[in-house]
Amino acid sequence: MSPLEAKLRRRIAEHGPISVADYMAEANAHYYATRDPFGTEGDFTTAPEISQMFGELVGIWLADLWMRAGRPEGARYIELGPGRGTLAEDALRAMGGTGFAPPVELVETSPVLRRGQAERVSACWHDGPSTLPTEGPLFIVANEFFDALPVHQFDSRGEELMIRLDGDKFVRDGEVMTETSPASLAIAGDLARRIARQSGAALIVDYGPVGQGAGDTLQSLSNHQYADPFAAPGERDLTAHVDFEALGEAARAEGVRVFGPVEQGAWLKAMGIDLRAVSLAKAAPERAAEIMADRDRLAAADQMGRLFKVMALVAPDWPEPAGF
Ligand code: SAH
């Protein structure tokens, strides 16, 4: 039994059942703090790890907005949950081509992942958004960050579902009707408030429905297979669908304009993924089939193209962002 599992068992035995949100927060903090989970050897793969095209198009989106906003001084590149730093590296390279080379600030709690990020970008790190710079335009990116934040689950009477011990198993009592992520709303609100005050924009990419979601979306991946979210806490990835409608409302309340969510496939096509794939394939003909397969994996409706959504928060007096 892992030390985290032992700790959670002791906590429940001594103080009673814990919320799904507490369980998820503890499990994910341990999970990310102790490993690099990405890629075929790991538990799951993310868009920037599939192809450089993803990060490059994100970088072009940021640079395009920066140019049309009049190339404001003092801008920062900010990323939340940057994983291996691959997205940042690809985005910054694409941005560099336009003369946009802002300093980089990364929000990352995992010491293991921070080390990997430092190999790819020079940056300074934050434990949370609260210490981000309070002046200058912010260009914020978050890919598969919000889905890792804790959710609370409630039954049809509005009672919060709790996790107790049944013998040696963690068991969730009751049936899930609704799910909320106050942690996500707080961060979206915080980012929006900064953007409204300092100017800038945020690009949020994650998986979830366009409208209101339904019930229980907590899921766990281990070795690329769905697994029981209530077994082996801290040893497998826990995520929940992102409620874009709620994030958008929280952001709008702070005075930013909200664009989307649109499907990732549509956004990538609008940003020129087909052209980018063709030009990469021309430069490396021996990899052409692989590049086209990667393009499909990111953009095709039956792969990541429809389930994943893209939403932008933009300062009130700024131009409209591309791709929406
Ligand atoms: N954006 C990356 C990684 C996604 S995985 C990619 O697309 O490949 C989730 C990331 O969020 C990891 O870097 C993880 O360590 C980080 N993370 C999870 N919970 C966090 C929290 N509460 N605060 C800061 N970072 C967190």
Q: Parallel, antiparallel, or unpaired for β 162-166 and 18-19?
A: antiparallel
For a pLDDT cut of 90, what percent of the chain falls above it?
94
Ligand 1 pocket test target in 26, 57, 86, 110 with most atoms within 8 Å of CB: 110
* 82 Cβ closer than 6 Å to some ligand 1 atom: yes
In this predicted structure, what is the pLDDT of residue 209? 87
* 81 Cβ closer than 6 Å to some ligand 1 atom: yes
CA of 282 to the centre of ligand 1 (A): 34
Tokens (6 digits) for 238: 């826990």
Which of 46, 44, 4 has the alpha carbon at shortest distance from 294? 46
Listed in sequence order, the DSSP H helices in 169-210 are: 182-198
Tokens (6 digits) for 265: 């496939």
Q: Report which ligand 1 atom has the smallest distance to the Cα of 38.
A: 8
Amino acid in the structure at residue 11: R
Q: Parallel, antiparallel, or unpaired for β 138-143 and 200-207?
A: parallel
Amino acid in the structure at residue 320: E
213 pLDDT above the threshold of 80: no
Q: What pTM value is reported for the model? A: 0.97
* 143 Cβ closer than 6 Å to some ligand 1 atom: yes
**Rounded Cα gap, residues 279 and 277, in angstroms:** 5
Kindly provide the b/e burial profile for residues 269-279, where b requires at least 16 CB atoms within 10 angstroms of the residue's own CB: bebbbeebbee
Contact call for residues 265 and 306 (beta carbons, < 8 A): yes
Once rounded to an integer, what is the mean pLDDT over residues 194-198?
98
Q: What is the mean pLDDT of the chain?
A: 96
Amino acid in the structure at residue 229: P
For a pLDDT cut of 70, what percent of the chain falls above it?
100
In this predicted structure, what is the pLDDT of residue 210? 85
Once rounded to an integer, what is the mean pLDDT over residues 239-252?
97
Confidence band, pLDDT 50/70/90 cuts, at residue 83: very high
| Closest C-alpha residue for ligand 1 atom 2 | 83
Q: What angle do CA 293, 206, 197 make, to 5 degrees?
A: 130
In this predicted structure, what is the pLDDT of residue 212? 74
212: Cβ contacts below 8 Å, ≥ 6 apart? 243, 245
Contact call for residues 122 and 105 (beta carbons, < 8 A): no
